[in-house]
Structure 1
Amino acid sequence: MTIFTIDKVRKSFSNGEVKEEILKGINLSLKEGEVTALVGASGSGKSTLLTIAAGLQPASDGRITFEGENMTSMNSEQVRKIRATKFGFVFQFAHLVPFLTVEEQLMLMLDVSETKISKPEQKREVEKILKLVEMDHRKNAYPSSLSGGEKQRVAIARAIIHKPKILFADEPTASLDSKRSKDVMILIRDLTKTLNITTLMVTHDEEMLSFADHIIKMSDGHVLVNLNNIS
């Protein structure tokens, strides 16, 4: 089922009297339980498209629809509410809080996302998610003692602990070696299927595309190729 659509989205910036158009009428739809990868050269517009889709910056024109609601007509507080409760985010670096344990990182996310469950229930949810990402044995560890791959697993757990509808991943494997990159992509793919999440991912790593259901190749602000992954 389609849960998210991008319709004729444009984005431009003005630099003095010069207007630069970064996105030039992008159309895209995302379905539940699928991973869609955005690829393209630096400057192609893929990261701009991701941040607009995630409500981190507004489009200059066009329409973004999430669960039947027009996000482009919402005010900033309404968009913030969706980001906090319905969206999850994973970035190139884990950005874990250095003085919090793995368990505490996830507990904090439940508070930030305004999940209204008791502390005992929160702990049970944390335990469940940490088992899914195979990090339950490290729940009392601090970030300084974790490997790069372990930190990214915790970051993924933090991104999905509040049961978001959409996971936005911006270069989630860029800081990892090839083995850890593959492990993280397998995890993202499996969680997308198991939890029926919709995942939109930016990547520059061609090897990671085999884990995506759809591949969107962008160039100069346009969708160059939109294909189903048959590999």
Structure 2
Amino acid sequence: MSFFTMDKVKKVFMNGELKEEILKGIDLSLQEGEITALVGASGSGKSTLLTIAAGLQSASGGDIIFEGENINTMNLEQIRKIRAHKFGFVFQFAHLVPFLTVEEQLLLMLNISESKLKKFEQKREIDRILRLVEMNRRKYAYPSSLSGGEKQRVAIARAIIHKPKVLFADEPTASLDSKRSQDVMSLIRDLTKTLNITTLMVTHDEEMLSYADHIIKMNDGVILHNEDLTPKL
């Protein structure tokens, strides 16, 4: 079921007196428990589309409907609460806090999301999530002792610890080698399915597209192709 839709979404920048249209009326629906991959050349608008969907920047026009509400008409505090409580983010680099252990990285996210869990419940939930990403044995480790793949696994754990509805992944494997990229994408796919998350991902790596349920190819601010890879009954 689609519960996140974008209708005629536009983004315009002013470059001096020149108006530059980055997104030209995008229509898009995202499904629960599925991965949608955005692909396209540099400058095609895919990263702009992801950041607008995630509430990290505003659209110049159109509607972004999430759980029946229009994100594009919300104020900054309303958007902040949605990002903190219902969205998760994974980027090209893990951006872990260097002086916090793996466990403390996740505790920080629970605090940001204003978790109602008691302390012992938070610890139990952290252990559960770290087992899901196969990092439970490293929960007292600091980022400096982790490999690139391990850091990204912690970043994914941090992104899902507060049970988000939507996961936004911007080039999540771009800094990893081929084997670690496949491991990370396999993890994202498994978590998307088992936790029934809606995942929107930007990637330039065509090998990662095999993990997606939908592939959207963009160019010059428009969608050229929308391919549905989900099995048909």
Q: TM (normalized to structure 1)? A: 0.99
**Residues 25 and 43 from structure 1, CA distance in 2 versus in 1: closer, same or farther, beyond 3 angstroms?**
same
Letter matched to residue 157 of structure 2? A
Measure the CA separation in 2 of the matches of 1:192 and 1:92. 18
Tell me by how many angstroms 1:230 deviates. Answer: 6.0
Q: How does 1:121-140 map to 2 (within 5 A)?
A: 121-140=121-140
Paired amino acid for 1:200: L
Q: 1:70-112, CA deviations, whole angstroms, 9 ceiling, x for partnerless residues?
A: 1111111101100000000000000000000000000010001
Question: Match of 1:49?
Answer: 49
Q: How many residues align?
A: 231
Q: Which residue of 2 aligns with 1:108?
A: 108
Identical aligned pairs, as a percentage?
Answer: 80
- Paired letter, 1:95: H
Aligned to 1:189: 189
Return the letter of the residue paired with 1:56.
L
Partner of 1:200: 200
Give 3-state SS (helix, strand or coil) of 1:82's partner: helix
Equivalent residue, structure 1, for 2:153: 153
Match of 1:225 in 2: 225
Q: What CA deviation, in whole Å up to 9, does each residue of 1:16-62 have, x standing for no partner?
A: 11000000000000010000000000000000000000000000000
SS at structure 2 position matched to 1:95 = coil
Structure 1 CA distance for aligned equivalents of residues 140 and 71 of structure 2: 39
**Which consecutive residues of structure 1, in runs of 5 or more, have no partner in the other structure?**
none
Matched, 1:67 2:67: yes
Please state whether the residue corresponding to 2:164 is helix, strand or coil.
coil
184-193 or 221-230: bigger deviation: 221-230
In structure 2, what residue type is equivalent to 1:141? A
What is the aligned partner in structure 1 of residue 23 from structure 2? 23
Q: Which amino acid aligns with 2:166?
A: I
- Range 68-77 or range 143-152, more displaced: 68-77
Two-structure CA RMSD over aligned residues (Å): 0.8
Whole-Å Cα distance in 2 between the matches of residues 139 and 35 of structure 1? 28
Deviation at 1:229, TM superposition (A): 2.1
Q: Residue in 2 aligned with 1:164?
A: 164
Aligned partners of 2:148 and 2:229: how far apart in 1?
Answer: 28
Moved over 4 A (4+): none
Point out where structure 2 has 5 or more consecutive residues left out of the alignment. none
Deviation at 1:118, TM superposition (A): 1.1
The Cα offsets for residues 135-188 of structure 1, whole Å up to 9 and x where unpaired, read as 000000000000000000000000000000000000000000000000000000
Give per-residue Cα distances to partners, 1:192-213, cap 9 Å, x unaligned.
0000000000000000000000
Residue 35 of structure 2 is matched in structure 1 by 35
Structure 2 counterpart of 1:143, which letter? P
Matches of 1:36 and 1:135 in 2, distance apart? 26
Distance 2:104 2:123 in 1: 9
- CA change 1:230–1:75 in 2 (3 A) is closer
Question: Normalising by structure 2, what TM-score?
Answer: 0.98
AA paired with 1:60?
S
Which amino acid is 1:132 matched to? L
Paired AA for residue 209 in structure 1 = L
